[in-house]
Amino acid sequence: MRRKVSKQNVWDWFSIYIRLKYSDEQGYAHCYTCGKKLPLKELQAGHCIAGRTNAVLFDEELVRPQCERCNVWHYGEPITFKDKLVQEYGEEWWERKVAESRKSVKYTQDDLLRLYEKYKKAVDEMICKIKNPNNLPSRWKDYYERHCKSATRCSERG
Protein backbone atom coordinates (compact mmCIF):
# COMPACT_ATOMS: atom_id res chain seq x y z
CA MET A 1 0.00 0.00 0.00
CA ARG A 2 1.30 3.45 -0.95
CA ARG A 3 1.78 6.15 1.59
CA LYS A 4 -0.79 8.96 1.52
CA VAL A 5 0.93 12.34 1.39
CA SER A 6 -0.72 15.66 2.19
CA LYS A 7 0.19 19.07 0.86
CA GLN A 8 1.34 19.93 4.40
CA ASN A 9 3.71 16.92 4.39
CA VAL A 10 5.26 18.21 1.17
CA TRP A 11 5.40 21.76 2.52
CA ASP A 12 7.31 20.64 5.62
CA TRP A 13 10.08 19.13 3.47
CA PHE A 14 10.00 21.95 0.91
CA SER A 15 10.26 24.63 3.61
CA ILE A 16 13.38 23.18 5.23
CA TYR A 17 14.80 22.46 1.77
CA ILE A 18 14.55 26.15 0.85
CA ARG A 19 16.29 27.18 4.06
CA LEU A 20 19.03 24.55 3.68
CA LYS A 21 19.55 25.46 0.01
CA TYR A 22 20.58 29.00 0.97
CA SER A 23 22.42 28.18 4.20
CA ASP A 24 26.07 27.95 5.03
CA GLU A 25 27.55 24.88 6.70
CA GLN A 26 26.98 26.37 10.16
CA GLY A 27 23.23 26.51 9.54
CA TYR A 28 22.91 30.25 8.90
CA ALA A 29 21.26 31.97 5.96
CA HIS A 30 20.34 35.52 5.05
CA CYS A 31 16.79 36.79 5.02
CA TYR A 32 16.18 37.43 1.35
CA THR A 33 14.43 40.74 1.92
CA CYS A 34 16.28 42.44 4.80
CA GLY A 35 19.62 40.63 4.51
CA LYS A 36 19.92 39.76 8.20
CA LYS A 37 21.99 36.60 8.77
CA LEU A 38 20.14 34.23 11.08
CA PRO A 39 20.19 30.58 12.12
CA LEU A 40 17.80 28.43 10.09
CA LYS A 41 15.59 27.95 13.15
CA GLU A 42 14.80 31.68 13.01
CA LEU A 43 13.98 31.70 9.29
CA GLN A 44 10.90 30.73 7.33
CA ALA A 45 10.27 29.88 3.70
CA GLY A 46 8.66 33.04 2.34
CA HIS A 47 6.71 33.42 -0.90
CA CYS A 48 7.10 36.42 -3.12
CA ILE A 49 3.62 36.04 -4.54
CA ALA A 50 1.15 36.06 -1.67
CA GLY A 51 -1.66 33.65 -1.22
CA ARG A 52 0.34 30.44 -1.44
CA THR A 53 -1.75 29.28 -4.36
CA ASN A 54 -1.02 25.77 -5.56
CA ALA A 55 0.43 27.15 -8.77
CA VAL A 56 3.36 28.76 -6.95
CA LEU A 57 3.33 26.99 -3.57
CA PHE A 58 6.35 24.82 -4.40
CA ASP A 59 8.02 27.13 -6.91
CA GLU A 60 11.66 27.20 -5.84
CA GLU A 61 12.32 30.44 -7.72
CA LEU A 62 9.61 32.31 -5.80
CA VAL A 63 10.35 31.02 -2.29
CA ARG A 64 13.35 32.17 -0.25
CA PRO A 65 14.41 32.25 3.39
CA GLN A 66 12.84 35.13 5.27
CA CYS A 67 12.94 36.22 8.88
CA GLU A 68 9.67 36.29 10.78
CA ARG A 69 9.71 40.10 10.81
CA CYS A 70 9.77 40.32 7.02
CA ASN A 71 7.62 37.29 6.25
CA VAL A 72 4.89 37.71 8.87
CA TRP A 73 4.92 41.19 10.37
CA HIS A 74 5.75 42.94 7.09
CA TYR A 75 3.58 40.60 4.97
CA GLY A 76 6.55 39.20 3.04
CA GLU A 77 8.03 42.57 2.06
CA PRO A 78 6.54 42.04 -1.42
CA ILE A 79 8.04 45.11 -3.10
CA THR A 80 11.59 44.37 -1.96
CA PHE A 81 11.12 40.66 -2.69
CA LYS A 82 9.82 41.33 -6.21
CA ASP A 83 12.53 43.91 -6.98
CA LYS A 84 15.28 41.47 -5.98
CA LEU A 85 13.78 38.65 -8.04
CA VAL A 86 13.38 40.92 -11.07
CA GLN A 87 17.06 41.88 -10.69
CA GLU A 88 17.95 38.16 -10.71
CA TYR A 89 15.61 36.88 -13.42
CA GLY A 90 14.25 39.87 -15.36
CA GLU A 91 10.89 41.54 -15.87
CA GLU A 92 9.70 39.06 -18.51
CA TRP A 93 10.29 36.17 -16.10
CA TRP A 94 8.33 38.04 -13.42
CA GLU A 95 5.36 38.57 -15.71
CA ARG A 96 5.32 34.83 -16.53
CA LYS A 97 5.38 33.94 -12.84
CA VAL A 98 2.52 36.32 -12.06
CA ALA A 99 0.48 34.79 -14.89
CA GLU A 100 1.29 31.27 -13.63
CA SER A 101 0.22 32.22 -10.11
CA ARG A 102 -3.30 32.91 -11.36
CA LYS A 103 -3.74 29.41 -12.76
CA SER A 104 -5.74 26.84 -10.88
CA VAL A 105 -3.68 23.78 -9.96
CA LYS A 106 -5.00 20.68 -8.27
CA TYR A 107 -2.39 18.26 -6.96
CA THR A 108 -3.04 14.57 -7.36
CA GLN A 109 -1.77 12.09 -4.81
CA ASP A 110 0.90 11.10 -7.36
CA ASP A 111 1.98 14.76 -7.68
CA LEU A 112 2.25 15.13 -3.91
CA LEU A 113 4.13 11.85 -3.53
CA ARG A 114 6.60 12.85 -6.27
CA LEU A 115 7.21 16.26 -4.63
CA TYR A 116 7.50 14.69 -1.18
CA GLU A 117 10.11 12.22 -2.40
CA LYS A 118 12.01 14.91 -4.30
CA TYR A 119 12.33 17.27 -1.33
CA LYS A 120 12.90 14.55 1.26
CA LYS A 121 15.77 13.19 -0.86
CA ALA A 122 17.24 16.69 -1.27
CA VAL A 123 16.99 17.38 2.47
CA ASP A 124 18.55 14.01 3.28
CA GLU A 125 21.52 14.96 1.08
CA MET A 126 21.85 18.50 2.46
CA ILE A 127 21.08 18.32 6.16
CA CYS A 128 24.11 16.26 7.22
CA LYS A 129 26.40 18.99 5.82
CA ILE A 130 25.25 21.30 8.63
CA LYS A 131 28.02 21.44 11.22
CA ASN A 132 25.95 23.09 13.95
CA PRO A 133 22.58 21.30 14.28
CA ASN A 134 21.63 23.67 17.11
CA ASN A 135 20.86 26.22 14.37
CA LEU A 136 18.17 23.96 12.91
CA PRO A 137 14.50 24.19 13.93
CA SER A 138 13.88 21.68 16.76
CA ARG A 139 11.98 19.21 14.59
CA TRP A 140 14.79 19.19 12.06
CA LYS A 141 17.47 19.03 14.74
CA ASP A 142 15.85 15.80 15.92
CA TYR A 143 15.72 14.54 12.34
CA TYR A 144 19.39 15.49 11.89
CA GLU A 145 20.34 13.52 15.01
CA ARG A 146 18.53 10.39 13.76
CA HIS A 147 19.32 10.65 10.05
CA CYS A 148 22.89 11.93 10.07
CA LYS A 149 24.12 9.61 12.78
CA SER A 150 22.72 6.61 10.92
CA ALA A 151 24.12 7.95 7.62
CA THR A 152 27.56 8.32 9.25
CA ARG A 153 27.41 4.77 10.59
CA CYS A 154 26.44 3.52 7.13
CA SER A 155 29.26 5.40 5.39
CA GLU A 156 31.80 4.22 7.98
CA ARG A 157 30.82 0.60 7.26
CA GLY A 158 30.94 1.23 3.50
Alpha helices per DSSP H over 22-137: 54-57, 68, 78-89, 91-101, 109-127
pTM over 0.85: yes
For residues 92 and 90, give the distance between their C-alpha atoms in angstroms, rounded to a whole number: 6
Q: Please tell me the distance from the alpha carbon of residue 12 to that of residue 19, in angstroms, as a whole number.
A: 11
- Share above pLDDT 70 across residues of the chain, in percent, rounded to a whole number: 92
Do 43 and 150 meet the contact criterion of CB atoms below 8 Å apart?
no
Q: What's the pLDDT at 152?
A: 57
Burial status of residue 116 (CB atoms within 10 A of its CB: 0-12, 13-18, 19 or more)? buried
d(CA 113, CA 3): 8
Q: What is the mean pLDDT of residues 23-27?
A: 97
Nearest alpha carbon to residue 121 among 147, 142, 146: 147
Q: DSSP letter at 3? A: P
The pLDDT value recorded for residue 109 is: 96
Q: Report the C-alpha gap between 2 and 7 in whole angstroms.
A: 16
**pLDDT tens digits, residue range 32-88?**
999 999 999 999 999 999 766 788 999 999 999 999 999 999 999 999 999 999 999
135/148 Cα distance (integer angstroms): 15
For residue 125, the Cα-to-chain-centroid distance in whole angstroms is: 14
Q: Tell me the pLDDT tens digit for each residue of 130-142.
A: 999 999 999 999 9
